Amino acid sequence: GQSLEQPSEVTAVEGAIVQINCTYQTSGFYGLSWYQQHDGGAPTFLSYNGLDGLEETGRFSSFLSRSDSYGYLLLQELQMKDSASYFCAVRDSRANYQLIWGAGTKLIIKP
């Protein structure tokens, strides 16, 4: 089967760094994506890792290790506006590159 595991909730302090982990099990892995979703809002694309290693985009970085079926999203210099749910999603090459989603991690930021 296909599944993704990520923590349900993470709490951090404003200005700090937080890492959200994602492990996956899928039949046709074709890259790991991360999306941010504020309450009542649309999922917004953050980053994509097709190959092993680190991708950096401003305060956000994402890492992938295909051999470990593992990735993470790193958020630096946390701001209150970063309070949201973060989803990892795998592209499935055996299913028209559908996105298979984790259940999401709710990031709570305290001042």
Partner 1 sequence: GAGVSQTPSNKVTEKGKYVELRCDPISGHTALYWYRQSLGQGPEFLIYFQGTGAADDSGLPNDRFFAVRPEGSVSTLKIQRTERGDSAVYLCASSLTGAGTDTQYFGPGTRLTVL
Q: Which residues bind partner 1 (CB under 8 A)?
A: 4, 30-31, 33, 35, 41-45, 48, 50, 87, 89, 91, 93, 95-104
Shortest CB 75 distance to partner 1, Å: 19
Yes or no: say if 107 and 82 are a contact pair by the CB < 8 Å rule: yes
| 23 versus 93: smaller Cβ distance to partner 1 | 93
Q: Is 36 exposed, middle or buried, given 0-12, 13-18 or 19+ CB atoms closer than 10 A? A: buried
| 14 versus 20: smaller Cβ distance to partner 1 | 20
Shortest CB 85 distance to partner 1, Å: 9
| 42 versus 111: smaller Cβ distance to partner 1 | 42
What's the token pair of residue 72?
Answer: 């993470």
Looking at residue 100, its amino acid is I
| H-helix segments, 12-58 | none
